[in-house]
Amino acid sequence: MELFGTAGIRGSVRERLTPEFALSVGRAVGAGVVEEASGDGASDRPATVVVGRDGRTTGEALAAAVEAGVESAGADVRRAGVLPTPALAYASQGRYGVMLTASHNPPTDNGIKVFVDGREYDRDREAAVEARVTDGVPSVAWNEWGSSETVSPLAGYRRAVVEYARGHGESADGLDVVVDCGTGMGALGTPQVLRELGARVVTLNGQVDGFFPGRASKPTPETLGDLRAFLSGSEFDLGIAHDGDADRIVVLDGAGEILHEDTVVAILAEHFVRVATASDPVVVTTPNASGRIDERVAAAGGRVERVRLGALHEGIAAARADGGDVVFAAEPWKHIHPDHGGWIDGAASAAVLTRLVAAAGLDGLRAPVTERPYRKVSVECPDDLKNEVMRRLESSLPAACPDAEVDTEYGVRVGFPDGSWTLVRPSGTEPYVRVYAEADDVDALIDEVTDVVADAVAAAGG
């Protein structure tokens, strides 16, 4: 039974993420932790699991269920309470962690993410948890249950972000920043960090509230209307917005315009490559990432490696195994700072970007980035036809674009000599094939590619 998606386990608390289910996942995680700590080839990590949660109203009960499962499997629990997901990941270094969060999902949902040494579980560990949930794990003897105690890692996490950011850019003294916390976990991290770095910070939706009354948890142009209006009528230098658990970041300029996520990645990636001391600095990103990232990384003397969506950690490991020094990794709105830690961290990106803006101004950082028009559309495709459709597209799409460079490792990605590109890949969650494109005439490119995709769907029987 497959439980994990690209960002942990998520679902309705009435239908999927019930207390009973949370108990079974906690026990499965705990059993695996005990086995790793005591079996053949035992690791140096103790059988200890830090458990945290976001501000959702269902989080306290579900965290208690996870904690009970972990302890009844024989592992120890450290209760971290309410904190951002990056802070929980930070606290899981040298041990394990479980975070109760559904990120940007509505308040009716909750979810579970599992960490080891600051990194989310890889697919092998996830599969082991799934097998234990399916097969069931009995409690250990009463005198072998784990212990529990309360810990407070939040302050240490914030200090770590501040110290990391101070190695980049210049002091943020006098910089004016607005942070829209979305009544989520960003309220416990980013404003405090930016103030410590010297910025003058105003918060919107800065109280933690699991009903998300100020705006929906997912930061989009529509849900960030208040932030955009506030910025456009003021003289602030920068706007930052987070999702419910503060691993994602959205960046706005002083006029309230949302920067394209790949422009933000290009700015940060170029900076990290330029300051790298390694001979082979690498930036890891995903197939749907813009060519503007490649351009700025190449200009700085680095290279880009791509990996499937949701697999940044695998991409980092592969690049390192190939001899590269990974200086940054990112997929849309989610950034990993390897010199800070192995987790996605919205506050770390906000802190570094704030200091870079203080040094060069946002316009100055943005100026070298080629920002072509970008679109994403979906073409209906039944799930059972996706493999056949993609097989057909591996030949028909390159045939329609004879002068382009083609990569079929993660879908079909076609790059053109002028830097424009398109990517076609199947959705992992819905009955669609996604089409991404970036070009000066993006509408024409989208129309051309969607026609090819529609023909492939029809030819496959759709």
Write down the pTM of the prediction.
Answer: 0.92
Question: Cα separations (Å) of 47 from 38, 68, 71, 115, 122?
Answer: 8, 15, 10, 13, 18
- Mean pLDDT, contiguous 10-residue spans, the chain (462 residues): 87 96 98 88 85 98 98 98 98 98 95 97 95 94 97 98 98 97 98 98 98 95 97 95 97 97 97 96 94 95 92 93 95 95 98 98 96 93 95 93 87 90 88 94 96 95 80
- Contact criterion met (CB below 8 Å) for 176 and 355: no
Strand-pair category, 96-100 with 176-180: unpaired
Q: What is the pLDDT of residue 9?
A: 95
Q: What is the pLDDT of residue 42?
A: 64
- Contact criterion met (CB below 8 Å) for 265 and 273: no
- Contact criterion met (CB below 8 Å) for 71 and 25: no
- Sketch out the chain's domains with CATH numbers: 9-152 (3.40.120.10), 157-253 (3.40.120.10), 261-366 (3.40.120.10), 374-459 (3.30.310.50)
Return d(Cα 29, Cα 13) in angstroms, integer. Answer: 20
The 10 Å Cβ neighbour count of residue 14 is 10
Task: For the chain, give the secondary structure using H, E and C.
Answer: CCCCEECEEEEECCCCCCHHHHHHHHHHHHHHHHHHHHCCCCCCCCCEEEEEECCCCCHHHHHHHHHHHHHHCCCEEEEEEECCHHHHHHHCCCCEEEEECCCCCCCCEEEEEEEECCEECCHHHHHHHHHHHHHCCCCCCHHHCCCEEECCCHHHHHHHHHHHHCCCCCCCCCCEEEEECCCCHHHHCHHHHHHHCCCEEEEECCCCCCCCCCCCCCCCCCCCHHHHHHHHCCCCCEEEECCCCCCECEEEECCCCECCHHHHHHHHHHHHHHHCCCCCEEEEECCCCCHHHHHHHHHHCCEEEECCCCCHHHHHHHHHHCCCEEEEEEECCEEECCCCCCCECHHHHHHHHHHHHHHHCHHHHHCCCCCCCEEEEEEECCHHHHHHHHHHHHHHHHHHCCCCEEECCCCEEEECCCCCEEEEEECCCCCEEEEEEECCCHHHHHHHHHHHHHHHHHHCCC
Strand-pair category, 412-415 with 405-407: antiparallel
Q: What is the pLDDT of residue 40?
A: 67
Of the CA atoms within 13 Å of residue 454, those in its CB half-sphere come to 9
What angle in degrees, to the nearest 10, is found between the helix axes of 261-275 and 291-300? 20
Q: What is the pLDDT of residue 5?
A: 85
77 is written with which tokens?
């629990």
Q: What is the pLDDT of residue 233?
A: 85
Q: What is the pLDDT of residue 121?
A: 95
What angle in degrees, to the nearest 10, is found between the helix axes of 386-400 and 442-459? 130
Annotated active-site positions, please? 103
Those residues whose C-beta lies under 8 Å from the C-beta of residue 355, and which sit 6 or more positions away, are 165, 166, 168, 169, 170, 171, 172, 197
